[in-house]
């Protein structure tokens, strides 16, 4: 009976279809098997909503509906929207407003909105948010989605809408006097979406395509739900891989018997530690050589966290693979577990890595994987001479990335018996290098393809499934597909490091003269990224105020919890949270104006960053000084936009159940890893004067393909549509370190700019021949033409045809590499307005405003999307998100029903203002924007809570229980 199939007849997108479905099969599985790939898998319990389709016109979660129960029904998927190549107004509006980032949630969001507009052509903003509320999005702050639905509704009502764009303003000399467009003051307290505001200094050189709100070049296919993600592919003969994970947080595998699983019909391979060579590695996708320790093997005889790898299976169907996992008999010797990093460091704690073949653990007996120490100046002397000393301890939680597309990988052998790895990764080139020794193939026999990615946020800067999937393909010689369940994302992927952050600060005459930071980083069961995340935390946490005497001591500690790894913010957000709250506390205690206290201390243009040489990223860094910053302007603009000072005055006289608070934090980040990150780009001219841009850079939904194409178009005098981007495929695109460390705009952009300049030289050189001009520097390249001083011109298409077929024949093409000795910090001011319910402890955030200096803004819509998305993730980090475990290491909330990430209806007003600078080392003056956006929300909300209640909250997340008990403690004190 288990495999019995029945026919159901459905009207799908107005066409009658008969599908053969299993008795218990969900509509989601049936639709995807029938190639409706716009319907996505995102969770196991119907919480995420990315599988939403319309069933008889109503949105339903197709994973919760059995296919046999809807026989005769009418189904609409995203493939059914739009007619004759024309997009539905919702699809166009989602594209234009920047509501599509990775696009994984887009089909479900558009269908949910369609159901609303079919019933209600003129919905209120709250009704729109409610309609989107059932579909989680982790990339955006839902701001542009709400705007998209409003615009589409207006168009469907027959109203005229103007093209969607940002707002521009010139930066006046007296910044404090700036008059912003009225909407940005939010005097009505609403949360309607505002377009981003870009404020530009007069001296900034103008550009043609840069700075324009170009629609993301991949938006159309994402708006149509085209099969562009890793899993939207079915290969003939493909097997389904599955991973058996540990139920114990710490155990030795005495024996494992897979004979019953292997005997199950339909099973093609079962692999355990007995079947795979023991090759040590570190799973973090980082540059060669990755930092020690190499403390993992593909499959081990010891497990160190619930969810650790035990065995893998490949079978004809996912159901058979699951059944096979159940038949594997594992004899565990359960060992004591430790989940608290401070306890893990004590004498007598369970030793998590007692294996003899891991090198590079600092103190395995005390589970200390790294001990970091760095110092400049004379900290003790400066403390002794300080007028005041202050101390503060802050705690930040283990947060899950929750990209809506899970880890997924398909491996197969091509016609030359080379292994192809099609995978949802941020680091295709690192994956190729890292996987080779694990599977015993040389790099030349491996090709890694990165299709569109449904979000990553650092969790896909990691070797997670690729080695396992490849082992199964090599064992079976068949294509194999592996995908994590949502539970496995929580138990078996990576997360943010939980940190304990202890600062000591010396202040003399209003200046921070010395600071020490002791940091404990909980790296979980394995150490990948442990060194670098915590080093970055120390560097940023001690450089924002850059005292000349600074000391960083850090212990990175193993615990029996799922490994931590890379997550947007990468240590910097944790440590900047600590320093920002402590700076507020100091100003409060000394009776200083907090903004002016911070202003007189923050890092300024021309200052050397004192710890930049000692604290590189996993290795020695380089001396760096800051060359551009608009932090002061960002703060001043934000103070005006929020009416900060007068609200703070008003809040002093509050005495009610609901208390209002406003807070502010300043933050900095980096742009790539100085002296290490390298990217390359290739540009090639086609017969019609268009160009292929081949890049190894990895667009995760951020819009990096678009902004890199804008850079090429800017140099080449062409519209964006003339640049055809291909990214990334290790066989066809040049090396790029991948998408992490906020490096793509700055480093990959540098490579694109160089390649485009080289192409420009070649074009002018050829045009010189065609126009019979002696000096190519007299020629101008613009509007798809080269123009001579006398007005004669040749088009790029003519140059292409001439260079390929007629005169001095050659291919106009160039490859350029780029790296930078610097990592210029973007800076930002984050503002938060909240209401605290003093009875329940619940915090309602009413407005988040970030004013950002990210250098030149290449695309205001995609950049604002990054900031909104970062603030949304930070909001979860601040208020609700924390991976919890019991004392034995069992996860308590490994699903999206219990682990709460922000939904559309819960979002505050989210506003973004850019104050541009012209970073001398950046391509066209650009720095980075991806990570700084996440850094400031937590300290700004801490500041707002104190403004509202007078209480300092030092442990995240600020759950109602924590806030309530802090308020009660304060009352009793
Ligand atoms: Fe919504 Fe990525 S755009 S999950």
pLDDT by residue (tens digit) across 378-435? 999 999 999 999 999 999 999 999 999 999 999 999 999 999 999 999 999 999 999 9
- Asked whether 273 and 300 are in contact (CB, 8 A), the reply is yes
Q: With contact defined as beta carbons under 8 Å apart, do 633 and 173 qualify?
A: no
Pocket probe mutation, ligand 1, options 49, 101, 702, max atoms within 8 Å of Cβ: 101
Q: d(Cα 190, Cα 125) in Å, to the nearest integer?
A: 10
Distance CA 354, CA 487 (A): 28
What's the 932 CA to ligand 1 centre distance in angstroms?
19
Are 54 and 111 in contact by the 8 Å Cβ rule? The answer is yes
Is the distance from the beta carbon of residue 101 to the nearest atom of ligand 1 less than 6 Å?
A: yes
Position 517 scores a pLDDT of 98
Across 196-308, where does the E strand assignment appear? 197-201, 239-245, 251-257, 267-271, 302-303
Name every residue whose Cβ is closer than 8 Å to that of residue 819 and which is 6 or more positions away in sequence: 675, 676, 677, 678, 679, 747, 750
- Residue 175's pLDDT is 84
Q: How many CB atoms lie within 10 A of CB 669?
A: 30
pLDDT category at 326 given cuts 50, 70, 90 is very high
β-bridge pairing 408-413 and 480-483: antiparallel
Rounded to the nearest whole angstrom, what is the distance from the C-alpha of residue 704 to the centroid of ligand 1? 15
103 pocket-lining for ligand 1 (C-beta < 6 Å): yes
Q: In 10 A of CB 159, how many CB atoms?
A: 10
Please state the φ and ψ torsions of residue 524, each to the nearest 5 degrees. 70, -150
CA 744 / ligand 1 centre spacing (Å):
19
- Alpha-carbon distance of 706 to 719, in angstroms, equals 12
3-state helix, strand, coil in the chain (%, to 5): 30, 25, 45
Q: Considering only CA atoms, which residue is closest to atom 1 of ligand 1?
A: 137
Output phi, psi for 178, to 5 deg.
-60, 135
Q: What is the pLDDT of residue 82?
A: 86
Ligand 1 neighbour 455 (Cβ under 6 A): yes
pLDDT at 586 over 80: yes
Please report which confidence band the pLDDT of residue 973 belongs to, taking 50, 70 and 90 as the band edges: confident
306 ligand 1 Cβ < 6 A: no
For 772, counting Cβ atoms within 10 Å of its Cβ (0-12 exposed, 13-18 middle, 19+ buried), the class is exposed
Strand residues in 669-719 grouped as ranges (E): 678-685, 691-695
Task: State if residue 102 touches ligand 1 by the CB under 6 angstroms criterion.
Answer: yes
Helical spans, DSSP H, in 857-959: 860-879, 932-935, 937-949
CA distance 158 to 173: 44
Please give the Cα distance from 953 to 962 (Å, whole number): 9
Q: Tell me what the mean pLDDT of segment 357-386 comes to.
A: 97
Ligand 1 centroid to residue 137 C-alpha, Å: 5
Distance from Cα 138 to the centre of ligand 1, integer Å: 5
139 CA to centre of ligand 1 in angstroms: 5
Cβ neighbours of 516 (radius 10 Å): 22
- By C-alpha distance, which of 530, 654, 669 is closest to 609? 669
105 Cβ below 6 A of ligand 1: yes
Q: Number of helices (H) and strands (E), helices first, in the chain?
A: 25, 33
Q: What is the pLDDT of residues 902-956, one digit of tens each?
A: 999 999 999 999 999 999 999 999 999 999 999 999 999 999 999 999 999 999 9
CA atoms within 13 A on the CB side of 40: 35
Ligand 1 centroid–CA 873 distance in Å is 12
pLDDT tens-digit readout, 484-529 = 999 999 999 999 999 999 999 999 999 999 999 999 999 999 999 9
Q: Contact, 330 vs 276, CB < 8 A?
A: no
Atom of ligand 1 at shortest range from CA of 454: 2
- Alpha-carbon distance of 130 to 112, in angstroms, equals 10
Kind of pairing between the strands at 309-315 and 239-245: antiparallel
Q: Could you identify the atom of ligand 1 that is nearest to the CA of residue 109?
A: 1
* 104 Cβ below 6 A of ligand 1: yes
pLDDT, tens digit (0-9, with 9 covering 90-100), for 107-121: 999 999 999 999 999
Distance 637 CA to ligand 1 centre (A): 30
Burial 303-323 (b: 16+ CB within 10 A, else e): bbbbbbbbbbbbbbeebbbeb
Residue nearest to atom 4 of ligand 1 (CA): 137
pLDDT attached to residue 2: 52
Per DSSP, what are the bridge partners of residue 914?
198, 852
Cα separation, 830 vs 842, in Å, equals 21
Ligand 1 centroid distance, CA of 701 (Å) = 8
Listed in sequence order, the residues at least 6 apart from 706 whose beta carbon sits closer than 8 Å to its beta carbon are: 214, 215, 216, 217, 218, 699, 720, 725, 859, 862
Check if 139 has its Cβ closer than 6 Å to any atom of ligand 1.
yes
Residue 934, phi then psi, degrees to nearest 5: -95, -10
Please work out whether the CB of residue 701 comes within 6 Å of at least one atom of ligand 1: yes
Ligand 1 proximity of 137 Cβ (cutoff 6 Å):
yes
Name the pLDDT band for 181 (thresholds 50, 70, 90): very high
Per-residue confidence (pLDDT) for residue 763, from 0 to 100: 98
**CB of 299 within 8 A of CB of 271?**
yes
Task: Decide: 140 in ligand 1 pocket, CB within 6 A.
Answer: yes
Distances in Å between the Cα of 49 and the Cα atoms of 62, 643, 700, 849 are 9, 38, 20, 28
Index of the ligand 1 atom closest to the CA of residue 139: 2
Report the alpha-carbon distance of residue 334 to residue 560 in Å, rounded. Answer: 12
pLDDT in tens, 604-650: 999 999 999 988 877 778 899 999 999 999 999 999 999 999 999 99
Q: How far is the CA of 764 from the centre of ligand 1 (A)?
A: 42
Alpha carbon distance 751, 758 (integer Å): 11
Q: Which ligand 1 atom minimizes the distance to the CA of 50?
A: 4
Ligand 1 atom with least separation from CA of 105: 1
Ligand 1 atom at shortest distance from the alpha carbon of 138: 4
- Please provide the distance, in angstroms rounded to a whole number, between the alpha carbons at the two ends of the chain: 67
> What pLDDT sits at residue 621?
85
Largest CA distance in the chain: 88
Question: How far does the centroid of ligand 1 lie from the alpha carbon of residue 82, in Å?
Answer: 21
What is the Å distance from ligand 1's center to 404 Cα?
A: 7
pLDDT tens profile 427-478: 999 999 999 999 999 999 999 999 999 999 999 999 999 999 999 999 999 9
Tell how far the Cα of 142 is from the centroid of ligand 1, in angstroms.
9
**Atom of ligand 1 lying closest to residue 101 CA:** 3
Q: State the distance from the centre of ligand 1 to the C-alpha of 871, rounded, in angstroms.
A: 14
Which atom of ligand 1 has the smallest separation from the CA of 404?
4
Which of the listed residues 144, 404, 702, 703 should we mutate to test ligand 1's pocket, taking the one with most ligand atoms within 8 A of CB? 404
- CA of 428 from ligand 1 middle (Å) equals 21
Quick: pLDDT tens for 125-169.
Answer: 999 999 999 999 999 999 999 999 999 999 999 999 999 999 999
For residue 39, the CA-to-ligand 1 centroid distance in Å is 14
Beta strand extents in 525-652 (DSSP E only)? 549-558
Mean pLDDT of 223-245: 97
Identify whether the C-beta of residue 496 lies closer than 8 Å to the C-beta of residue 399.
yes
404 lines ligand 1 (CB under 6 A): yes
Predicted pLDDT of residue 340:
98
Probe target for ligand 1 pocket from 52, 138, 901, 902, with the most ligand atoms within 8 Å of CB: 138
Q: What is the mean predicted confidence (pLDDT) over 709-719?
A: 98
| Ligand 1 site-directed mutation target among 41, 139, 896, most atoms within 8 Å of CB | 139
Mutate to test the pocket of ligand 1, among 47, 106, 459, 864 (most ligand atoms within 8 A of CB): 106
CA of 101 to the centre of ligand 1 (A): 6
Q: Render pLDDT for 16-40 as a digit per residue (tens, 0 to 9).
A: 999 999 999 999 999 999 999 999 9
Measure 454 CA to ligand 1 centroid, in angstroms.
7
The pLDDT, as a whole number, for residue 437 is 98
* Residue 742 pLDDT grade (very low, low, confident, very high; cuts 50, 70, 90): confident
Q: Of all atoms in ligand 1, which is nearest to the CA of residue 701?
A: 2
């Amino acid at each position: 009976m288990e495999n019995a199939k029945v026919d159901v007849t459905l009207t799908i997108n107005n066409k009658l279809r008969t599908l053969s479905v299993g008795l218990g099969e969900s509509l989601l599985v049936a639709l995807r098997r029938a190639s409706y790939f716009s319907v996505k898998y995102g969770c196991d319990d119907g919480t995420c909503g990315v599988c939403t389709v319309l069933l008889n016109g109503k949105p339903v979660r197709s994973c919760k509906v059995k296919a046999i129960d809807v026989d005769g029904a009418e189904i609409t998927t995203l493939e059914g929207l739009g007619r004759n190549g024309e997009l539905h107004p919702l699809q166009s509006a989602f594209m234009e407003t920047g509501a599509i980032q990775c696009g994984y949630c887009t089909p479900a969001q558009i269908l949910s909105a369609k159901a609303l507009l079919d019933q209600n052509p003129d919905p209120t903003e709250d009704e729109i948010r409610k309609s989107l509320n059932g579909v989680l999005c982790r990339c955006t702050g839902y701001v542009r989605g709400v705007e998209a639905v409003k615009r589409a509704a207006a168009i469907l009502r027959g109203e005229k809408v103007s093209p969607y764009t940002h707002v521009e303003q010139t930066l006046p000399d007296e910044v404090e006097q700036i008059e912003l467009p009225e909407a940005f003051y939010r005097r009505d307290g609403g949360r309607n979406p505002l377009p981003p505001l870009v404020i530009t200094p007069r001296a900034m050189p103008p550009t043609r395509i840069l700075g324009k709100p170009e629609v993301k070049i991949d938006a159309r296919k994402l708006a149509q739900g085209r099969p562009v993600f890793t899993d939207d592919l079915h290969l003939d003969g493909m097997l389904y891989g599955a991973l058996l994970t540990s139920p114990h947080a710490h155990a030795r595998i005495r024996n494992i018997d897979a004979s019953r699983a292997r005997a199950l019909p339909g099973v093609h391979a079962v692999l355990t530690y007995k079947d795979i060579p023991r090759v040590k590695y570190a799973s973090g996708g980082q540059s060669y050589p990755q930092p020690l320790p190499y403390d993992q093997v593909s499959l081990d005889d010891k497990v160190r966290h619930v969810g650790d790898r035990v065995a893998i299976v490949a079978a004809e169907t996912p159901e058979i693979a699951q059944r096979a996992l159940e038949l594997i008999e594992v004899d565990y010797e359960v060992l004591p577990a430790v989940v608290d990093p401070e306890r893990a460091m004590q004498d007598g704690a369970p030793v998590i890595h007692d294996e003899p073949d891991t090198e590079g653990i600092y103190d395995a007996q005390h589970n200390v994987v790294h001990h970091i120490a760095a110092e400049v100046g004379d900290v003790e002397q400066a403390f002794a001479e300080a007028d005041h000393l202050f101390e503060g301890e802050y705690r930040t939680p283990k947060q899950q990335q929750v990209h809506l597309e899970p880890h997924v990988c398909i491996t197969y052998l091509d016609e030359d018996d080379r292994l192809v790895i099609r995978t949802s990764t941020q680091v295709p080139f690192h994956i190729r290098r890292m996987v080779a020794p694990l599977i015993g193939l040389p790099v030349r026999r491996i090709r890694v393809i990165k299709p569109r990615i449904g979000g990553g946020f650092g969790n896909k800067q990691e070797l997670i499934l690729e080695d396992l999937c490849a082992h199964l393909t090599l064992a079976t010689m068949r294509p194999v597909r592996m995908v994590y369940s949502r539970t496995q994302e929580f138990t078996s992927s990576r997360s943010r490091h939980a940190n304990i952050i202890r600062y000591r600060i010396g202040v003399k005459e209003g200046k921070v003269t010395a600071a020490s930071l002791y940091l404990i980083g909980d790296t979980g069961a394995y150490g990948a990224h442990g060194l670098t995340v915590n080093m970055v935390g120390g560097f940023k946490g001690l450089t924002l105020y850059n005292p000349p005497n600074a000391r960083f001591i850090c212990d990175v500690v193993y615990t029996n919890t799922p490994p931590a790894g890379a997550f947007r913010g990468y240590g910097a957000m944790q440590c900047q949270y600590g320093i920002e709250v402590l700076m507020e506390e100091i100003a409060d205690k000394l009776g200083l104006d907090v903004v002016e206290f911070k202003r007189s201390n923050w890092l300024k243009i021309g200052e050397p960053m004192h710890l930049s040489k000692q604290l590189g990223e996993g290795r020695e860094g380089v001396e760096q000084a800051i060359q551009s910053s608009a932090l002061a302007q960002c703060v001043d603009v934000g103070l005006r936009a929020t009416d900060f000072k007068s609200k703070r005055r008003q809040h002093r006289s509050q005495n009610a159940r609901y208390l209002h608070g406003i807070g502010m934090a300043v933050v900095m980040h980096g742009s790539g890893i100085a002296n290490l990150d390298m990217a390359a780009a290739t540009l090639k001219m086609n017969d019609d004067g268009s160009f292929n841009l081949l890049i190894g850079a990895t667009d995760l939904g951020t819009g990096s393909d678009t902004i890199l194409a804008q850079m090429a178009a800017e140099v080449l005098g062409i519209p964006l549509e003339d640049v055809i981007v291909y990214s990334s495929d290790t066989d066809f695109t040049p090396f790029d370190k991948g998408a992490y460390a906020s490096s793509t705009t700055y480093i990959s952009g540098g490579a694109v700019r160089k390649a485009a300049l080289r192409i420009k030289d070649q074009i002018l050189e050829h045009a010189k021949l065609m126009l019979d001009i002696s000096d190519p520097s007299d020629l101008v390249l613009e509007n798809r033409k080269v123009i001579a001083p006398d007005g004669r011109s040749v088009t790029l298409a003519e140059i292409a045809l001439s260079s390929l077929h007629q005169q001095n024949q050659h291919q106009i093409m160039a490859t350029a590499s780029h790296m930078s000795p610097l990592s210029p910090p973007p800076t930002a001011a984050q503002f938060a307005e909240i209401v605290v319910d003093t009875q329940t402890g619940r915090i309602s955030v009413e407005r988040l405003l970030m004013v950002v200096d990210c250098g030149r803004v290449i695309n205001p819509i995609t950049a604002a999307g990054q900031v909104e998305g970062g603030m949304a993730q930070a909001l979860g980090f601040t208020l609700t998100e924390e991976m919890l475990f019991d004392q034995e290491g069992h996860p308590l909330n490994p699903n999206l029903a219990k682990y709460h990430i922000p939904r559309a209806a819960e979002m505050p007003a989210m506003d973004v203002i850019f104050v541009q600078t012209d970073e001398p080392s950046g391509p066209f003056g650009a720095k980075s924007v991806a990570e700084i956006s996440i850094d400031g929300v937590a300290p700004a909300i801490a500041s707002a809570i104190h403004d509202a209640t007078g209480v300092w909250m030092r442990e995240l997340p600020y759950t109602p229980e924590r806030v309530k008990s802090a308020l009660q403690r304060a009352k009793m004190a």
